[in-house]
Structure formats: C-alpha cells, structure tokens
Amino acid sequence: MATNHDHPEHAGHGDHAGHSHDDGHGHHDGSYLTPIGGFWSEVWRWATTIDHKKIGVMYLTAVLFMFFLGGMAAMAVRLELLQPTRSTAVTSTEPKLDAAGAPIIDPATGQPVTEVVTQTVTTGQMWTISNVQAENNNVYNRIFTLHGAIMVFMVIIPSVPAALANFLLPLMLGAKDVAFPRLNLLSFYIYAVGSMFAVASLLLGGVDTGWTFYTPYSTTTDADHWRVTLMVLAAFILGFSSILTGLNFIVTVHKLRAPGIGWFDMPLFVWAIYATSIIQVLATPVIGITLLLLVFERLFHVGIFDPRIGGDPVLFQHFFWFYSHPVVYVMILPGMGIISDMIAVHSRKRIFGYRAIAFSSLGIAGVSFIVWGHHMFTSQGELASIVFSALTFLVAIPTAIKVFNWISTLYKGSIAFNTPMLYTLSFLFLFSIGGLTGLPLATLSTDLHLHDSYFVVAHFHYVMMGGTIIAFVGGMHHWWPKMFGKMYNEFWGCVGAVLVFIGFNVTFFTQFFLGTRGMPRRYASYLDEYQLLHVVSTVGSWVLMAGFLVHLFNFIHSLVAGKKAPANPWGAMSLEWEADSPPTEHNFHHEPIVKHGPYDFDAAVPPHWDAKDWPLPAPVPGGHKH
C-alpha cells in the first residue's frame, strides 16, 4: 500500500479537527491509564473524558457487569429445569375445627367430625416469591425474561461495537479519536441510564413478558405496575445509545482515515463495524417508536396493539422483527470482523478474499432488512411465508463466503494454537452449526415441527453466543495486551477456552435433541422423558460458567501481576499495533504514515517486532492480493 500524503479526503484531518484528550486538565505523554491526580480527581477525569479508549474501557466494564447479571439469570433458569415443576392435587381427610381451633365432636357418635381437604402441592420448583402464585411459574417466567432482555439489549448488541470498537476503531484508522468525542461520551451515559431502568425493573420484581415484549403480554401484564413500563423504556433508551454510536463510527470511517488508508486498506474489523453501524442507524429508530407506542398503550390505552380497543397485536411483531432481525447482524457482524483479524494474525497469512469478505459484510447488512417475516410463519398468510422463507436462504450466501475464506486463510498457514486462535476455531465450529441449523427453521415444512421448541433456543444460542460472545471473548484476549499493556497467562487462557467450548456444546447441543423430540421452549414443567437431557444441559452450564470464571481470574491476575506486554506481541500488521501498549493519550506519537496493508505478512516486517518478545515463523505467501 503506497503512502499518500495528498489524498484529498484526508486533508486537514491529521490534526483531528483540533480534538484533544486533555479534557481540560492539561496534556501528558504517558499512557491513557497513567493517573495524574488523586483518587477523586482521577474518577472525575474518567467520568468526563472524551478519550475513546477510556470510554471503551468504561463500556467494557459495564457490559461485563451486565453479562454477569444475565449469566446468573441463565444459571437460575437451568437450575429450575433440573427437574420438572409439577402441581399435584392431594386429597386428605382432616378433623373439622371450630372457630377456636378445637376439633368439632359429633354428639351422636362422640367422634370428631371430619372433612375432605384438597391441597395443591408443587414439586420441582426452585424459585418462588411469597406473593407470586407458584402454580403459574411466574418467577421462572421473570427470570428467563430478565436473562433474554439483559443479554440481548445490554450485552450482545453493545459488546463489540461499544466496547472493543470504541477502543480500536480510531487506532486502526490512525486517528486521534472518533469524529464526535462528546457524542461518544453521551452515548455511554445513555447506555448507563437505560441499564439502570432495567435494573430498577428487576428490583421491583421483574417482568414476565418474554424478552421480545410481545403484545398482549406486554400490554396487559401487571397493568397497575410500573415494572413492565420501566423495562420497555430501558430498551427504548438503549436504542439511542446504539444510534449515536453507529452514526459516530460511520463519520469516523469516512472522514478520519490516516493518509494512505483507502477503502480497501482498512482492516476487515473496520468493514464489519461500518456495516454494523449502517444497520444501527437505519433499524434502531423502528424499535424505538414501537416501544414508545407500547408505553403509550399501557399508560393511556391508545388502540395500537390491543384488539379490544381497535389495535392489532401482529402489527407489533412486524415492527419488532423489522428491527430485531437486522439487529441479529448488529450482534454477529462485529464478531465476524474480529474473526477475520484474528485468523490472519494467528495463522501468519494474508487474509484470503479480502474484498469478498468486505462486501459480504455489506451484503449481510442489506439482506437483513428483508427477512423479518421468518419469525412470523404462524401469524401471516401462506404467500408471505413462502416469500420470506425463500429470502431467508439468501443470508447463507454472504455468510458462506466468509466461512470458506476463513478456512482458506487457515490452509497452509503457520497456525499458533494460543487462546485467540482457540476462540477463532471455536467460532468456526459453533457458528457453522448455528447457521446450518437455521436452514430447517427457514424451511416451512420442517419449521412446523420445530417452531417454538428447544431447537430454536439451541439455534439462537449457537449463533448469538457461539458466534458473538465467543468472538468477543477471543477479541478481548487478542487485544488485551494493547488495551491494558499486560500479558495474561496463556496456559490458563487456553484452559478457559477449552472449558467454555466443552460447556457450551454440552449445554446447547442437547437442546437440539430436546427440540426435535417436541420439548417446547419457555416451560418450567415438562414430561419425564425430557429430564435426562435437561440434567445434561444444566451440568454443561456449570462447566461453561467455570470457563468464564477462569478467564475472569486470569484477566484480574494479568492486571495485578501480569508481565508488561510488548507493543506487538502477536506480530500483527494493522495500525493499532503501531501504538504503544497501552497507547498514549493521543494514540500515536506522530501522525502514522501507512506503508503496508493490514494483512501483508508476506511483504513487510510487523511494527515493533522483536524476536526476543515474540519469535515469528517464516511468513507464508498466499491469499488474494487486494
């Protein structure tokens, strides 16, 4: 890639429009983590910072905390499902008592008078609340609603774009910050306020509408209470954070690339974030106005979704899924971008089919807007179902392009079996299962049997967790040395990765069998024939949790006692590895001049590379030139 100082699009952007990370407190040349004043002074600096790196770390901390809450709810769901919840009527003969509580004696016989008493005995129920009817499984419903809402709206959607991309995008483009730093800080506080609304709803007792807030559940449940309204408002507020972040990233990619970085010289992670941002900006307003209408209906009984007052509940499903299916790709596209970068770096090989992967990201973003109806096969006409079923198969094309190119990149590469690569390989295996199991759900004939069963639960988790969360955790390991300047223990990183992989498959692969055998989702009670598979699934969730705990302690140990990370521990070629580890306040000591592409392993020496830090194998020629 040639150096280009005269690129008209970048003229004047080296100074980054005067953006400074001083935050009004003066400039220093240390890393962005270097404290300057006392404790409270430092808290204030972080709370008011416009440095994209600090905002990214704050997002990361918030997302991980919400991941912990959502994970605890998931563990509670699996514990509840260890055995089926049963309500049984038990009949017994008891002495009849008078007002004082003494047995009533029959004068004729001198014997106590008896009466038949029927009691409902509930067995197998793990979680109860004194004022909630046990027989309705309301507590279980609230727990899985909480798990779904937190994991989707507060973890998976913001995990990669808001946490990792906020930190890395300007570094990868050679910029000092994002295009609108103060808007970036505002988006974080909007996320924090939205999350507080969700936690407030939880503290008030939670909601049992399901995470999709389908009407009429969400318009009639707890009609006299604020719980549901708070949770719906939480999702509404979080949408604004998504829109502002997406807008910021689009402008940053267009306007703040360093001299020499053309559209096809950007890392594929940037392409993925760019495609994600387009979806965020276009789709999120739809869910925003939908949830606002839902709140209006609850508060003022406006007839929009409630058929009793002239509304249409299916209209809510159209609005919800017109946003929520594109948002599936808001969740998975950034994960795909992480995999593209990690697979090239840790196999020391130029990425195969750069342009095909880049354009497939945009293709997925485009197709995502025309397939929402496959969530509604049971609530729309036959023709609409046939059309949406056919359109759904289109998603397989750009997705398969990515998978085949990733495998081609691995072919004859110098593969390093470290923690990021283990997560990369896990992603390829798990996401492929998730994608392939989507085909029978998109096929009308097979979906008749699989619809609303545990097969859907397993498919969803293989795509969302086996895809996004696995890529997110892999990306944390890949960029951890750059973000915090410390190396983690590689052995325990690999142990955690293996535990997560095993635990995930034991937990969710068994649910494919549950689904094909007819076990419906969202039920606390089930037939005895399903119990063994539920027990296996629950035990798998414990192994999965153990893997995440290993990572948690490994990261904490890294921050406290980890050895200092070199500037480029993996021998990567993209621009963020030109910066120090951790980067300075302004990212680079000088405006970067780009002389090679992000995957030119066969044509250039990695920046800051030193054999004593990380011995590299010989570069492997291969892959398509871009």
Place of tokens 């979080």: 238
CB atoms within 10 A of CB 561: 9
How confident is the model at residue 125, as a pLDDT?
67
Residue type, 321: W
How confident is the model at residue 9, as a pLDDT?
37
Could you tell me if 463 and 328 are in contact, meaning their C-beta atoms sit under 8 angstroms apart?
yes
How confident is the model at residue 1, as a pLDDT?
44
Q: What is the pTM of this model?
A: 0.89
How confident is the model at residue 88, as a pLDDT?
67
**Dist CA 624 CA 273 (whole Å):** 22
SS3 category, 249: helix
Q: In terms of Cα–Cα distance, which of 600, 604, 609 is closest to 350?
A: 600
Residue 24, phi then psi, degrees to nearest 5: 80, 10
CA 346 to chain centre: 24
C-alpha distances in angstroms, 259 versus 95, 110, 177, 255, 599?
91, 104, 15, 11, 18
**Dist CA 292 CA 289 (whole Å):** 5
**Dist CA 194 CA 200 (whole Å):** 10
How confident is the model at residue 15, as a pLDDT?
38
Mean pLDDT by groups of 10 residues along the chain of 626 residues:
39 39 50 87 93 96 96 95 77 76 78 75 63 64 93 95 95 95 97 95 88 88 83 94 96 93 94 95 94 91 88 93 92 95 94 95 92 91 94 94 96 93 97 96 94 96 96 97 95 97 98 96 91 96 98 96 91 91 89 86 80 64 49
